[in-house]
Amino acid sequence: MRAEVPAHSQAGRQLRVKGRGVPQLKGGGRGDLYLRLQVHVPDRETPAAAEAARALDEAYAHSPRDGSEAVGA
């Protein structure tokens, strides 16, 4: 099954997929399927991955961990 994850979704977010869960006991369709997002980071860093991480870091005006607003916003 494929599910579309909205942009800017964070780890731990729960998504609902209507009508794709388990069938109801006495008929009447299926329930909803709930997905919880998990982020997995690779154990080893390749040169291509390191370059991509640097480019991504430069694309953001602030660190998402410091809780501050973007510079120049």
Q: Which residues, other chains included, contact 36 with Cβ-Cβ below 8 Å and sequence gap of 6+?
A: 12, 13, 14, 15
In the chain, domain spans: 14-59
Asked whether the whole model's pTM tops 0.75, one would answer no
pLDDT at 30: 93
Give the mean pLDDT of the chain.
83
Instruction: Report the pLDDT averaged over residues 41-65.
Output: 81
Instruction: Report the pLDDT averaged over residues 23-49.
Output: 89
- pLDDT(55) > 80: yes
